[in-house]
Amino acid sequence: MSTSASSSSSDPASSSVASPVCASVQHGRRKVFVDPVLASVDPDDRLVSLEALPELFATLAVRRVFLVCDRGAYQFSGAAESLAGLFGDRDVEVFDRFTPNPKDFEIDDAIAAMRRFGPDIIVAVGGGSGLDVAKLSRACDVAGVSARDVICGKVAANTQGVRLLAVPTTSGTGSEATHFSAVYVDGKKYSLADQSMRPEHVLLEPRFTESLPASVTLASGLDATCQAIESMWSVKSTDASRAYAERALQLAWHALPECLLRPTAEARRRMMIAAHLAGRAINLGQTTACHAMSYTLTAKWNIPHGQAVALMLEPVWHFTADAESSSVIDPRGRGHLHDVMLRVCRVIGAHDLRHARDRIVQMLHRLGTPINFSEAKIPARDAVDLISQGIDPVRMGNHPVRITPEDAVQILEPLC
């Protein structure tokens, strides 16, 4: 598995020629669909190309498709036009009765519709919420109970559900590669994690991101970038997750500014692969302090998730880089953490941990995302109080350095 931090001219990602994310190759007796960039990290036969979709459906004897999507995103992304022809004469039932940040009763609604229809496959098209609804509907489809019983852990998730094909229309969450999803029960956020949640098939089509507003491209790209960095240093990181994350960061660090400032098909392709690899990385390593301290910004002041996480990145990096050895909770020790942070430095063009802070701030400034509370137009003292009191303990538990609520106040002060 490649863990190289530097790109070279032979790097498939360095090609300036736009190409589809996936191409089909013969793998033993099976035809699988790979991208050369993805293959350099880890080939994955979950990937399917648009052109190969009819073959996949034929192989799986698909006659009935349960399509979970936000109708707006489905149309505007171009997915409707591309997929409708590929569905052919199969029966397709559309489910779109859900809201951003889906609720448990919406999952119940989806399950009821899915049971009535009896699909051979679920196709989920959209950003995070559409994919979350499809993943949760499958996992929570347990006879005689409601979705909240599964979400709240009273009943085990369904592991025998119908197959799921995930088609992301943003380059951000990486939800198509993860085994967890967020859902709200009575206003409280839950994250259901189960291996059965992970989609068996993933279709990455960068063209579906072309019509996104710049604000969505920015927020989703920042989310992917932070997910890559956080999963690098997470206490749950593995050799594999760090390889995915490092590759994701290599791609995203250059592709995201291009997608915003001078978008090309190739930049969108790299950003979509970056987000997918970051998704694979957090599927193993999960997220840490930046995410843990971001949720209040989104819940209280509607700061888009990616921008909220990115606002936390530089101060959290500063605190983590300066932490005493006694504060490091990763059993691999401070040396391991230092090595990982240096790997991030190499990718983002920083010569040491301090310079990395400058590089991060320069990047955020260049992208036009807030770098302090004033730019985010939120009251600084309220932000410090509410964020430090509203830290997500699970995400924070993955951070390699102990951060107390008092430490959080110290981290946040420079943003005031």
Count the residues of the shown chain that bind Fe ion, applying the rule CB under 5 A: 1
Instruction: Report 320-379 residues binding Fe ion (CB under 5 A).
Output: none
Torsion of CA 131, 132, 133, 136, to 10 degrees: 120
- Residue 5 CB, nearest distance to Fe ion (Å)? 23
C-beta of 313 vs 328, nearer to Fe ion: 313
- In this complex, which beta carbon is closest to Fe ion, that of residue 223 or of residue 330? 223
Assess 70 for contact with Fe ion (CB under 5 A).
Answer: no
Shortest Cβ 224–Fe ion spacing (Å):
8
Q: Which residues of 65-92 are buried (b: 16+ CB within 10 A; e: fewer)?
A: bbbbbbeebbebbbbbebbeebbeeeeb
Binding-residue pattern over the window 256 to 275 for Fe ion, x denoting contact by CB under 5 A:
--------------------
Closest CB to Fe ion among 70 and 223? 223
The CB-of-291 to Fe ion minimum distance in angstroms stands at 6
Q: Exposed, middle or buried, 386 (CB in 10 Å: 0-12/13-18/19+)?
A: middle
CA–CA gap between residue 231 and residue 244 (Å, rounded): 9
Taking alpha carbons only, the member of 329, 187, 349, 212 closest to residue 275 is 212
223 binds Fe ion (CB under 5 A): yes
Nearer to Fe ion, 318 or 395 (CB): 395
Question: Distance from CA of residue 124 to its chain's centroid?
Answer: 15
The tokens for 213 are 């507003």
Q: Select from 9-17, 215-223, 343-351, 356-364 the region that touches Fe ion (CB under 5 A).
A: 215-223
Angle value at C-alpha 249, between 220 and 128, nearest 5 degrees: 25
- The smaller minimum CB distance to Fe ion, of residues 106 and 223, is found at 223
Regarding 176 and contact with Fe ion (CB under 5 A), the answer is no
- Of 132 and 223, the one with the shorter C-beta distance to Fe ion is 223
Binding to Fe ion in span 9-68, by CB under 5 A: none
Contact 139, 158 (CB under 8 A): yes
Enumerate binding residues for Fe ion (CB under 5 A): 223
